[in-house]
Structure 1
Amino acid sequence: MRSYVLSIWSLLDPLYYSFTRLTYLNGEDNIFRIRLTRYKGKKIILSDGAEINKNDIMVKIHLHNVRLLNELKNIKSDLRKARRIYSHVQKSLPGVESYIRNHRCSDQIKGIIGITMLNKGCERLGFEVCDIGHPVYKWYKWITLLPIWILSSHRSGHAFKQAPTYLFMSAETLSELYKE
Structure 2
Amino acid sequence: MAEKLFSFNTQPHVAKLGDSAELHFIPEVFGDQFLDGYKKIQDAREKISGQTDLTALSSEELRSLYAAMRTFLAGLMTPESAAEFLRFEVIKGGKTVADFRSRDEADAHAATVTGARVEDKSMRLPDRVLTELLEWVTELYGGGDSRPTGPSSGSSRASRRAGAPSKASSRSKGSTSTRGASAR
| Normalised-by-shorter TM-score class | under 0.3
The higher relative CO (CA closer than 8 Å, separation ≥ 6) is in 1
Using structure 2 for the length normalisation, give the TM-score: 0.24
Name the structure where helix makes up a greater proportion of residues: 1
Using structure 1 for the length normalisation, give the TM-score: 0.25
